[in-house]
Structure 1
């Protein structure tokens, strides 16, 4: 399985849009085939990889399977995202003003970037920028 995955990665990284196969289905270098007079067929490497992986029992074009595989990998590696249980927060105009005032103090001290400050208070960067403009 590992060799199949490595080959798939290689095929996708090294192909210039297509890979070339003989009538028997063997991969061949286009220049080599031309020198030897071997007829070849251009094939989309992505389609070839998908077929090989499906044949091996890995249907990567199925969204549900991909989600399950990604979840498995995350759980095995310990990189599973924490479950989101927080509700989206709405700020009043007074709260926004107070946050902007706090930013002015932090900015004057030169301690943080706008992005770091926005993360710290739990607000999206663009939302914070809009508050500063507002």
Structure 2
């Protein structure tokens, strides 16, 4: 699992834009394919990384899974909350808000969930989520 995560990070860091794949599934440089007359298909490296991670059981696009994973990590590190919720509010950074809004746009495009269901899944109040979408 550790190697898969490191490989995924490496794949995302080294690729700028799309990766080009032949009909056989081999990655190829676009200029090389053009010079040899090989047909290629553009592939988003993020999509490929997500597929690999999901095949290994890591559903990083699932907000509930991410919340559970983050809670597990914080409990292991000793910084996690007790089993009883104290009612403390979670504060999100602007970067986290932006990432959540981006994830919503993908979910919305797929037509899989309502805004309310998505907000519940990520542990944010519906009105708070609506306010993030407006900004």
Aligned mates of 1:79, 1:27 — CA distance in 2: 43
Where in structure 2 are the equivalents of 1:103-118 lying within 5 Å?
none
Point out where structure 1 has 5 or more consecutive residues left out of the alignment: 89-134
Aligned mates of 1:81, 1:35 — CA distance in 2: 58
Residues 41 and 84 of structure 1, relative CA distance in 2, 3 Å threshold? same
Aligned mates of 1:44, 1:68 — CA distance in 2: 27
Higher relative contact order (CA 8 A, sep 6+): 2
**What SS does structure 1 have at the residue aligned with 2:20?**
strand
Aligned mates of 2:63, 2:88 — CA distance in 1: 27
Residues 29 and 64 of structure 1, relative CA distance in 2, 3 Å threshold? same
Point out where structure 2 has 5 or more consecutive residues left out of the alignment: 90-135
**What SS does structure 2 have at the residue aligned with 1:9?**
helix
Q: TM-score, normalised by structure 2?
A: 0.52
Residues 35 and 3 of structure 1, relative CA distance in 2, 3 Å threshold? farther
Aligned mates of 1:87, 1:37 — CA distance in 2: 61
Q: TM-score, normalised by structure 1?
A: 0.52
User: What are the Cα deviations for residues 33-71 of structure 1, in whole angstroms up to 9, with x where unaligned?
Assistant: 344443221111111111111111111111111111111
Aligned mates of 2:60, 2:54 — CA distance in 1: 7
1:59 and 2:59 correspond:
yes
Where in structure 2 are the equivalents of 1:58-97 lying within 5 Å?
58-80=58-80, 85=86
Alignment RMSD, CA only?
A: 2.8
Aligned mates of 2:53, 2:59 — CA distance in 1: 7
Shift of 1:9: 1.0
